[in-house]
Structure 1
């Protein structure tokens, strides 16, 4: 007979409601700063759960227009749960974080992928496509995702935190703000921006016991959460799913771990900016410490061990890209892996359009599905070679090239969620 004795439930340290705006809830913050106090403390080895809202903080709805993507307030992102302090952790240590599970809320079994506006978020092809807002809603069926906005595909997700990291020291924060300001100053008026400076408007720390002067300081100089940095942050590594282990450098006492931006699935690159299947959900952790780990491990940035759980898609089609902008002005670049990645992605998008998908649907699919990207060669000047690997098993149709006319079976696959005012991106 089952007994309750020795059956210790896992504690939930931070509880949130995915349907309530993030800035109306406790235990959430959307800036990086050493003065944000921990909302909870755990002992090394303790297993605990943290609940997370989606990265926008409930700004995006399950509907059939992209007006919410168009109008999203990006001054309020990303919304992170935490910080959680780990007892005994000091600057110079390594915080070892085991990701034991990542799952959506039972009451919110859906997520979304978005193409953001050129002037409000952008994305990899913001300039090339003169991006206008578009969106796909994905429904979760156990490990699988399907979308009414991108029919004909079904794939297993590798759920993971897009954003996880430790708190910076004041010196590290000052370094971030200085170097990113220099980049902004070197590219005045860039659209989309090359970096995002501290911004008090939209800043939020959901703790009521912070002194007014401390809160003002956090809001004035807290670093935006948009890029990844030395502490981890928004790295969007799709293989950091359950079973992964992360080694983070520690910069403040307690480490002050924060997490958010949960993804049900994502392709390598997360190319459309909101390019994963964004979700609200629950993540389970256990932490340990390597004393003096920064020096012992030569830890300048985090180290990760990938999840042992991975969808089994053995049959794949591979698109190659090189560092020549042959989808644009034909310019030759020297060993530019970003240009090569873009060309591989554009080749894949062009191919998917032959299947009847719109460009927006193809863009969203390559962002959300378990697509792989690899550097094929980065030594043969002037052309870096990058590949984009699309699993065949996610499609209900056979999409392999054939010597028929037309080469691929063309279908009308509808369209994704678009702006209600009829404004579309240029094609």
Structure 2
């Protein structure tokens, strides 16, 4: 087993870790806490993305009340000796898993429309929570009965630190997006139904910022411009790609000396799209990594974004029920080659289908967010409709979900859901 070079205590606050504190912002000046040579292998541990705000209970208010200024908590940064701007950092994901005996559960959540919402927030505006038991790589939930499968484990978030120039570019373009939306809300990305939507970007804020081991006075100033870890960007970041599982190799662009690699937001499993925002089975976890360098790799290979070679670890599903969606909203509004709308419709079709087997809409939403469903933009050429598909694996269920099995609609309970009125 590789040496653990970054260790966490799940019973301590993120900023009160017995060793080095994690970090939850991207900034070139956050100091590295771990050093690695090219070719070296090590183990890193990470808290769950909320830093322990959600616990193993039936209280959905914990999801409703999560402080989203704090997330995500990343292990590192790791300084790779010899890494220079323009290189590619090659990272092999050798192994990963839950922190056995310290934290053996995961959680999924539907976020309240008042706290960020999500992909289908207009249909599911209230917060909900499901707890998942982690038995090795196999997952099951008391809140979603008759679903048990081997998860597609992966880190949702990994990447290198941005340069100061890249950081300023991020902040400038995201500020422009927010300003544009504020001036003309009809100009960009409203939900198809016209309901209240989540913010279009998360701009820097010092509130909730944890800048690793940076000096407190310096950290306060840097946090005012440090980038949130919420989206993916050129350096990597929060891609939430379920196929970056055990055996994967990722090539990250290097923008600062040493790379300053960080990783976290681990998922025991996830469906394509992570459609209920906190859609994956979130957990505290370890990862075993091997680092190497491709000198001048960005120029040699024409790469300024990460690329990856997926591993083969994960469930071997063979049979699926597949749902189609097109660029027409639930209200009959025609859009032009809009895969966002078409994937929504495929997801809603699958939710309605699962309700025929006795699941509630919230349970079905959590199934699609956690089971490794296969989402595809299958056609973007035939005007006016894009065609998106969602393939739901039959093998994740303890019963047959084929259309010929309709009538298996026993009472399957429900999730923990807040019942307080929306304001």
TM category (shorter chain) comes to over 0.9
Structure 2 residue corresponding to 1:262, chosen from 259, 263, 266? 266
Report if the CA contact (8 A) 1:249-1:294 is conserved. Answer: yes
Hey, what does 2:306 align to over in structure 1?
Answer: 302
Is residue 16 of structure 2 the alignment partner of residue 17 of structure 1? no
Structure 2 residue corresponding to 1:69, chosen from 63, 69, 81? 63
Task: State the Cα distance separating 1:212 from its structure 2 match.
Answer: 4.1
Task: State the Cα distance separating 1:418 from its structure 2 match.
Answer: 1.6
Report if the CA contact (8 A) 2:97-2:137 is conserved. Answer: no
Q: 1:23, 1:416 → 2: CA distance? A: 31
Q: 2:168, 2:407 → 1: CA distance? A: 54
Structure 2 residue corresponding to 1:85, chosen from 60, 75, 79? 79
Q: 2:407, 2:392 → 1: CA distance? A: 16
Task: State the Cα distance separating 1:116 from its structure 2 match.
Answer: 0.4
* TM-score normalised by structure 2 residue count: 0.94
Q: 1:293, 1:185 → 2: CA distance? A: 36
Q: 1:11, 1:238 → 2: CA distance? A: 26
* TM-score normalised by structure 1 residue count: 0.93
DSSP-derived class of the 1:65 partner: coil
Is residue 118 of structure 2 the alignment partner of residue 123 of structure 1? yes
Structure 2 residue corresponding to 1:230, chosen from 231, 234, 237? 234
Give the alignment of 1:240-279 within 5 angstroms: 240-279=244-283
Q: 2:208, 2:402 → 1: CA distance? A: 47
Is residue 324 of structure 2 the alignment partner of residue 320 of structure 1? yes
DSSP-derived class of the 2:143 partner: coil
Task: State the Cα distance separating 1:409 from its structure 2 match.
Answer: 1.8
Q: 1:413, 1:336 → 2: CA distance? A: 35
Is residue 109 of structure 2 the alignment partner of residue 110 of structure 1? no
Structure 2 residue corresponding to 1:134, chosen from 125, 128, 139? 128
DSSP-derived class of the 2:15 partner: helix
Deviations, residues 123-176 of structure 1 (Å, cap 9, x unaligned): 1011333x1110110001222101000001101111110000000000000000
Task: State the Cα distance separating 1:423 from its structure 2 match.
Answer: 3.1
Q: 1:113, 1:212 → 2: CA distance? A: 33
Q: 1:150, 1:16 → 2: CA distance? A: 30
Q: 1:291, 1:27 → 2: CA distance? A: 30
Runs of 4+ in 1 over 3 A off after TM superposition: 210-213
Hey, what does 2:46 align to over in structure 1?
Answer: 52
